[in-house]
Structures are given as C-alpha cells and as structure tokens.
Amino acid sequence: MKGQKGFTLIELIIVIAIIAILAAVAIPNYLAFRDRANISAAKDALGSLRTALEAYAADTGYYTPNGGDNQTTIDYLAPNYIDDVSKLISAWSTSTAPVYDIDHNTYLVTVHAKDRNSTEVKLTPTGISP
C-alpha cells in the first residue's frame, strides 16, 4: 500500500480541531455583534418616535392630542408624523409590549430590544438610554 496518497487520521483530527477553535472564537463575536445591532435598531426606532413626538409638540405645544391617552397619541402620530409604524415596532421585542407614558408636558417610552437579554431601552425628552 505504499504510494497511496491521502490524509492520515492525525491530520484530519488536527484540521477538525482548528475549525472547532475558529468556530469557538467566531460564534460568540457574531452573537455579540447581532445583539449590538438589535439594540441599535431599537434606539433608531425610538429616535423616529422621538422626532414624531417633538414635531407634534412643536405644532401643538404639547405631546398628546386633546384628552388623548398614550395609545391614542401613538395612533394619531402614525399617519401624520410617522411614515411606517410597523417598521418602527418591528425593531422591538414582541415578548414585552412597549410601555408608553406620554402626557402633555413630557414622555417616557420603554421598549425591549430583540437581543438575547431583552435590553430595556428608554426614550425621554433628554435622550435615549439603553
């Protein structure tokens, strides 16, 4: 059997070990990158909501329609100040509903990002915080 060409068992085991080591390094980095991207998407969506709330407040002087509750405010803003509400909401985790606390003078919107930890992202007039 001299002269046959091929890989030995040791060579195959070494190649498999190298691939396993590379996967062990790459997979956690990929998951962390995906989590950061999902948190950024939630922040971006809240930024769009913030722009809509601030535009409405600039037009009317307050954040909610007359006598409106929090959900009414979002529903009212949708056709007038927000282009695509479904795109906005799709950036948030569906396991927990957004919490809207909007009144005439201020607002606090809390959502959960679609990352592995369901990171809570908050929107206030002063900014967006993870």
Q: What is the mean pLDDT of residues 100-119?
A: 85
Measured CA to CA, the distance from residue 43 to residue 46 in angstroms comes to 5
Mean pLDDT along residues 17-39: 93
Q: What distance in Å separates the CA atoms of residue 92 and residue 87, rounded to the nearest whole number?
A: 10
Counted residue by residue, the chain has a size of 130
pLDDT-based confidence at 99, cuts 50/70/90?
Answer: confident
pTM of the full structure: 0.75
Q: What's the whole-number mean pLDDT along residues 121-125?
A: 89
The predicted pLDDT at position 3 comes to 66
